[in-house]
């Protein structure tokens, strides 16, 4: 029962794989000056890259948890999300309003996915 961890730091790993499932840490935008659409796109691009490293992709997402700073940004986030999600493979998802560690951050996404 091996657990493979990627980008391990003192506080967290960006990715762990166990028994064919990839667990991603919460992904936040690197640049927080942008609006919700920009920040969402940044996060989804990072998720794509991590899933690729794990041997997976967005069509294999099992679950997504989305944390947004302000629900006034909900529609803008959904527009980017819906353009990104694999057609016919929209995963179970929860979206909640949350206080962010960085007040300039508008979004954080946590994903769990099956590995090929």
pLDDT of residue 116: 79
Please state, in angstroms and rounded to a whole number, the distance separating the CA atoms of residues 66 and 95.
5
Instruction: Give the closest residue to 24 by CA, choosing from 32, 12, 11.
Output: 12
Residue 61 lies in domain: 3-114
pLDDT of residue 1: 80
- How far from 59 is each of 3, 48, 52, 68, 88, CA to CA, in Å? 23, 10, 11, 23, 8
CATH code, 64:
3.30.1330.40
Q: Is 93 helix (H, G, I), strand (E, B) or coil?
A: strand
Q: What was the pLDDT predicted at 48? A: 98
Contact 80, 37 (CB under 8 A): yes
Q: What is the pTM of this model?
A: 0.96
Structure tokens at 24: 């991603």
Q: How many domains does the chain have?
A: 1
Q: Tell me: the pLDDT tens digits for 25-71?
A: 999 999 999 999 999 999 999 999 999 999 999 999 999 999 999 99
Sign of CA dihedral 84, 87, 78, 47: negative
């Amino acid at each position: 029962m091996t657990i493979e961890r990627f980008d391990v730091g003192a506080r967290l790993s960006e990715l762990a794989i166990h028994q064919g499932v990839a667990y991603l840490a919460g992904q936040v935008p690197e640049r927080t000056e942008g609006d919700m659409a920009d920040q969402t796109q940044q996060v989804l691009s990072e998720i794509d890259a991590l899933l690729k490293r794990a041997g997976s992709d967005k069509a294999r997402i099992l679950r997504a948890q989305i944390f947004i700073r302000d629900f006034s940004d909900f529609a803008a986030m959904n527009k980017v999300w819906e353009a990104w999600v694999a057609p016919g493979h929209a995963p179970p998802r929860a979206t909640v309003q949350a206080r962010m560690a960085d007040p300039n951050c508008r979004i954080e996404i946590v994903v769990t996915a099956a590995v090929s």
